[in-house]
Amino acid sequence: MEEVNKFAESTATIVDGEAVYEEKDPESNSLHQSLLKRNLTLSSSPLAIVGAKVSHIESLDFEINENDLFKHDWRSRSKVQVLQYIFLKWTLAFLVGLLTGLIATLINVAVENIAGYKLLAVINYIEEERYLMGFAYFAGANFLLTLVAAILCVCFAPTAAGPGIPEIKAYLNGVDTPNMFGATTLIVKIIGSVGAVSAGLDLGKEGPLVHIGSCIASLLGQGGPDNYRLKWRWLRYFNNDRDRRDLITCGASSGVCAAFRAPVGGVLFALEEVATWWRSALLWRTFFGTAVVVVVLRAFMEICKSGNCGLFGKGGLIMFDVSNVSVRYHAVDIIPVALIGVLGGVLGSLYNHLLHKILRVYNLINEKGKFHKLLLALSVSIFTSVCLYGLPFLARCRPCDPSLPDSSCPTTGRAGNFKQFNCPKDYYNDLATLLLTTNDDAVRNIFSISTPREYEILSLIIFFALYCILGLVTFGIAVPSGLFLPIILMGSAYGRMLGTAMGPYTKIDQGLYAVLGAASLMAGSMRMTVSLCVIFLELTNNLLLLPITMLVLLIAKTVGDCFNPSIYEIILELKGLPFLDAHPEPWMRNITVGELADVKPAVVTLSGIEKVGRIVEILKNTTHNGFPVVDEGVVPPMGSRIGATELHGLVLRAHLVLVLKKKWFLQERRRTEEWEVREKFTSIDLAERGVKIEEVMVTEDEMEMYVDLHPLTNTTPYTVVESISVAKAMVLFRQVGLRHMLILPKYQAAGVFPVVGILTRQDLRAHNILSAFPHLEKSSGGKKGH
């Protein structure tokens, strides 16, 4: 039974923690495929794109590893310790909310001030009719701000680029993207986000805030950044993937809450879009976190009201309060509303499709190196500046509506709904109102209610076309960028266009059309329903909007789903993150896990008392993370003892490395007592990760010694019988949050090995199974999604 298989699962060699990908032919005897079943191997390379680079990724293990040490620790945990744990859990949720709220305020204050003073200066130049100087100042400031954000991202934390939501989604599904939740990433994300948003780029701070919330949660849970961890005893309870998962869920919902000031929406966003596992207790804790965020935000807005925060307070923290509008609509208004829904679905899926293509191209550029990344970001910045500054000159000046109060039209300051720009007194430039302002103010202006004649349809078309282009070209550049705001801007543009076109035929305000348009495009692209609905409810503060918002969201999502998956799923797929879907594909019922095990390399098992040499050899030659432990020559309580074996459990790589590092070796083959292992190891030791086998030195003599693996083995792994269908195995794998699943034989006989195989996340991915069993796809009738 001594089988050692040579490292067949991955063809990546790990250099400095990152893997270099070697493209390799899949054993290339395709002629004999029907004869030699073994030729079809499940390709399961744990590689994904992390910050434009291909890196090795690890799965997470949410299963409780019940070995002797854990059980002892569990039993000896006193009531006080349980209370400590509960207290700390809530304290951490509180801190996550508090810090997320503070940082969100900070970002808002910074953005409003930087962008505000920049725009004030530009407006001054324009008033003096020094248009070129104005442009130079505008483009220059944007260039510098983008440069700061991009350099930080490129040089210090490539994972801080983009929104981060797909990676958080993957983490909560059980995929650990390296360097995703570190202190550097957090700092770069904060500063980069301020820079990128102030630079007037077509991106939001909403996605980054979700990432920031998660980073804070992760850092708090592990007691600080990797190198300067707080070694507080209480924190040891949180040194496992399960509690970290819960914390990060909490952080993500706090982030959404901070972004939209929507506490219920934040919780629901985490529930609907981000989290894979959910339970009532978590619902309650995330809710607590978002409540704290709201209180912090409110407190700061109260403080800033009196002008203590510079320009902040004149427009900061998006909030499109339309609670004063009496929403009236009749049966006939359903038609334009449904039309918006359909448009949102079509445009949303089209946007997803195009963005996918552009991200592929950008990936090729970004792979070329840091300089190319920078160049890309800066070109987009210059293009944005040119458009934002230049296009308003195309619009003609429109006279102010005399019924408006004098001070509101035209405005010359930073915020305001009727920008004077290059126009004479009592005239305003509607395109400048939308373009030469911060993104938050642009949203507020296009949502503005009771201003039916404010925008010319041509201006809205230009605005829409511009933001379609910017929305596509901006997202993939190497700065922290959220998707929410670009989509809201695009959606509100066509919504308002439709409202203007409907004009006298509808009773719904044009501002509400814009809101519905934004909602429809969000649903069409991101495919959320309930959480979006609640977020829009909390943003607009008007419950009477609820029924039509629901209608628009449902239609947009349904239409969008006909074409392609949601934007986050597309990004996950593009990055190669092995996300496990909630539902197995229909064809997975036609294949058993036994058939999967057949095309995998034979499983590597260890004996209960194993030679040190063999352990070292296996650890060096494979990348497996878990090894079944099998005892031979046992005496079963019934049945014959000839050829009898016993499945003892599963031992983790990290624990094997730990044994080697601590040199817990035995001179002879014998079972140890419980006190022996407890003398050497604590459950805190077992929670340590990241020690590599390459760092451990074992002498020749020691190679001949033995290790008793029994006390370190998880004796209660989840198992399936080889006859179970892949569909059902996948449900189990995902529902319970596994990293490894053992396959047991359906036969019971002497000499049958008690483990048939071991399944990991990669083995259960539809794509990998189909590449090994191409006939399944045909039988499935073609429906494959993406």
Question: Cα separation of 69 and 661, whole Å?
Answer: 18
Closer CB to its own copies, residue 88 or residue 197? 88
CB of 286 to its own copies, least distance (A): 9
SS (H, E, C) 307-337: CCCCCCCCCCCCCCCCCCCCCCCCHHHHHHH
**Which of 122/537 has CB closer to its own copies?**
537
Interface with its own copies includes 349 (CB under 8 A)? no
Kindly tell me which of 179 and 715 has the beta carbon lying closer to its own copies: 715
User: Contacts with its own copies in 148-207 (CB under 8 A)?
Assistant: none
> Of 447, 480, 511, 484, which Cα lies nearest the Cα of 259?
484
Count, residues near its own copies per rule CB under 8 A: 90
Binding of residue 606 to its own copies (CB under 8 A): no
Contact call for residue 522 and its own copies (CB under 8 A): no
Which is nearest to 734 in space by CA: 764, 689, 694?
Answer: 764
The SS3 assignment for 689 reads coil
**Separation between Cα atoms, residue 11 and residue 602, nearest integer Å:** 17
The b/e string for 687-723 (b: 16+ C-beta within 10 A; e otherwise) is bebeeebeebebeeeeeebbbbbbbbbbbebbbbebe
Amino acid at 490: M
Should residue 85 be labelled a site residue for its own copies when binding is judged by CB under 8 A?
Answer: no
Closest CB 639 distance from its own copies, rounded Å: 3
Give the SS3 label for residue 609.
strand
Contacts of 495 (CB under 8 A, 6+ apart): 340, 513, 514, 515, 516, 517, 518, 520
Which of the residues 42 through 71 are near its own copies (CB under 8 A)? 64, 66, 71
- Between the alpha carbon of residue 599 and those of residues 8, 202, 757, the distances in Å are 12, 48, 10
Position among 138, 237, 238, 288 found at the interface with its own copies (CB under 8 A): 288
The whole-angstrom separation of Cα 19 and Cα 717 is 29
The distance from CA 523 to its chain's CA centroid, rounded to whole angstroms, is 18
Residues in region 741-760 near its own copies by CB under 8 A: 744-754
622 binds its own copies (CB under 8 A): no
- Out of 533, 545, 603, 629, the residue judged to bind its own copies by CB under 8 A: 533
Query: Residue 592 interacts with its own copies (CB under 8 A)?
Result: yes
Shortest reach from residue 649's CB to its own copies, in Å: 7
Q: Which of 208, 480, 482, 649 binds its own copies (CB under 8 A)?
A: 649
Member of 339, 358, 530, 703 binding its own copies (CB under 8 A)? 530
Cβ distance to its own copies smaller for residue 111 or 647: 647
Which sign does the torsion angle of CA 531, 533, 538, 539 carry?
Answer: positive
Neighbouring C-beta atoms of residue 8, cutoff 10 Å: 15
- For position 91 contacting its own copies by CB under 8 A, the verdict is no
Q: Are 660 and 698 in contact (CB under 8 A)?
A: yes
Nearer to its own copies, 452 or 745 (CB): 745
Which amino acid type is present at position 345? G
Q: Which of residues 662-721 bind its own copies (CB under 8 A)?
A: 715-721
Binding to its own copies by residue 291, rule CB under 8 A? yes
CB atoms within 10 A of CB 771: 15
Give the helix ranges, DSSP H, for 128-240: 131-155, 165-173, 183-198, 206-222
Q: In the complex, what is the shortest distance from the CB of residue 583 to its own copies, in angstroms, rounded to a whole number?
A: 8
By CB under 8 A, the residues from 566 to 585 that bind its own copies are: 582-583
* Minimum CB–partner distance for residue 265 and its own copies (Å): 10
Find the shortest distance in angstroms from Cβ 496 to its own copies.
24
Does residue 431 interact with its own copies by CB under 8 A?
no
295 binds its own copies (CB under 8 A): yes
Main-chain dihedrals φ then ψ at residue 717, nearest 5 degrees: -75, 155
Which one of residues 541, 679, 694, 786 is an interface residue with its own copies (CB under 8 A)? 541
Instruction: Pick one of 589, 692, 775, 786: the residue that binds its own copies (CB under 8 A).
Output: 589
Contact region with its own copies (CB under 8 A), list: 4-12, 121-129, 304-312, 646-654: 646-654
Q: Which two tokens stand for residue 747?
A: 């036969």
* Contact flag: residue 557 with its own copies (CB under 8 A): yes
For position 547 contacting its own copies by CB under 8 A, the verdict is: yes
Question: Interface with its own copies includes 278 (CB under 8 A)?
Answer: yes
Q: Of how many residues is the chain composed?
A: 786
Using CB under 8 A as the binding rule, whether residue 93 contacts its own copies is answered as: no
